Amino acid sequence: MTKTFMPSFKTRADLEDHQLRGLQWTVAHAYNGSPFYRSRLEQAGVRPQDVRSVADLSRLPFTSADDLREDYPFPLLAVPESRVVRIHASSGTTGKKKVLTYTQTDVDHWAHFFARCYEMAGLGPEDRVQIAVGYGLWTAGVGFQLGCERFGAMALPLGPGNLEMQCQFLEDLQPTVMCCTASMGLLIAEEVNRRGLRDKIRLRKMIFGSERSSDAMRRRIKDLLGLEDMFDIPGMTELYGPGTGLDCPKHEGIHYWADYFILEVLDPNTLQPVAPGEVGEMVVTTLCKEAAPLIRYRTRDLTRLIPQPCSCGNLLPMHARILGRSDDMIVFRGVNIYPSQIDQVLSRITEASCEFQVLLERREDGKDYMIVRLECCPELEPERRPELARKVESRIRSSLLVRPEVQIVNYNTLPRSERKSKRIFDQRPL
């Protein structure tokens, strides 16, 4: 029998029973092992024995990134330091890092469900996986490699950047899968075509992590490389790292590993559940994490739960692709805008490339102005650019209720990135 990394649950009831046992264990473990959690739970008037159903989750207190920073360097620690075998930290660039601790059991669980991601993406032991994400203090590279090795495929750990070596490995070692940010994927796709390597490589799938990718960017990458499929893989340092879910080949949503954590989608203002299928903030509670368990951790990521089952038949529930962050909202002339909304508008314009920048500035008249710089497709005739600019302006105005200044620039004019691309530049004085 072929080895599987999928859970053995037969029904949703079986999964819910597992979640209840995991929730009870987590609350007891955190209460008994972490002074931070004991204090927070007592303030909320909750003891471990009070958790009798998954519905009791609503009685538990929230935790946030501020709690992790304030309890630096080893926040939420619920085991003796002697049991900690590894630390990872967030890639934030300001203030104290969010440092998370891992026991050997935590590492083993992470490797197991990351291997599940590769299984869901349809990989086999004959696949070769070129890992072009960051190594070091961050969770990315190590997570992709651990999962690959646990799954049984061949890992090629290159890390990000170094286009010369990336292309050399694609040609010489013939990887079939590449793991990277979508921005890095675009950079690779354009470079492969520039060098005339498309017919000399065997790349058939890409797995994107770390940043939200627009539909336009995904289409561009797929067309340039002739890929069979592409997958989104969510994750964050606080919740082990990347690999906490994957969209299956049906691409109806992200299957998340509900046997390892409970996912709530709440209104970020009221902290109450949103209606089924509506967008809200993702809040997670771990079910078996030892070193640094999470209880109702506010991720700030925006998504929605997908209530209907996937046509692939997998029992595991789904959430939509991450739309952005609740704290990334732009206020422009009194209108609340999320960067993902601009992405969505531009992705539906076929004459446009997938690369854009949004500049917000305040001029001498005291008014705020929005400038959208957008690459056109390489096939677009120069005389059609004014028409494209008017089309973009009209679409943004009708969808977002703001009027931007649109600048159409040549294809491959805007900077490419080997990591996450920065697209919003708010130059307004505070």
Residue 418 confidence (pLDDT) above 50: yes
Residue 212 confidence (pLDDT) above 80: no
pLDDT at 380: 85
pLDDT, the chain, mean: 91
- Residue 316 CA to residue 309 CA, distance in Å, equals 8
Residue predicted with more confidence, 345 or 365: 345
pLDDT at 346: 85
Backbone dihedral angles phi then psi of residue 93, each to the nearest 5 degrees: -110, -5
Kindly indicate the confidence band of residue 356, based on its pLDDT and cuts at 50, 70 and 90.
confident
In sequence order, which residues have a C-beta less than 8 Å from that of residue 74 and are 6 or more positions away? 81, 84, 87, 99, 101, 292
Q: Could you tell me the residue ranges of all domains in the chain?
A: 1-325, 330-426
CA proximity to 127, closest of 144, 110, 151, 103: 151
* pTM (predicted TM-score): 0.84
pLDDT at 95: 62
Kindly indicate the confidence band of residue 419, based on its pLDDT and cuts at 50, 70 and 90.
low
Alpha carbon 50 to its chain centroid, in Å, reads 33
Q: What DSSP assignment string belongs to 95-139?
A: SS--EEEE-HHHHHHHHHHHHHHHHHTT--TT-EEEE-S--SSSS
Kindly indicate the confidence band of residue 367, based on its pLDDT and cuts at 50, 70 and 90.
confident
255-303 confidence digits (pLDDT tens): 999 999 999 999 988 999 999 899 999 999 999 999 999 999 999 999 9
- Residue 281 CA to residue 395 CA, distance in Å, equals 27
Q: How large is the average pLDDT for residues 93-107? A: 85
Q: Is 151:2 a contact under the CB 8 Å cutoff?
A: no
- In CATH terms, the fold of domain 1-325 is Rossmann fold (3.40.50)
* 330-426 is a CATH 3.30.70.20 domain: no
44-87 confidence digits (pLDDT tens): 999 999 999 999 999 999 999 999 988 889 999 999 999 999 99
Q: How large is the average pLDDT for residues 150-176? A: 95
CA proximity to 251, closest of 265, 232, 278, 235: 232
Kindly indicate the confidence band of residue 158, based on its pLDDT and cuts at 50, 70 and 90.
very high
Q: DSSP letter for 237, please.
A: G
Residue 1 confidence (pLDDT) above 50: no
Within this chain, domains 1-325 and 330-426 share the same CATH topology: no
Residue 92 confidence (pLDDT) above 60: no
Residue 98 confidence (pLDDT) above 70: yes
pLDDT at 3: 85
- Residue 197 CA to residue 213 CA, distance in Å, equals 24
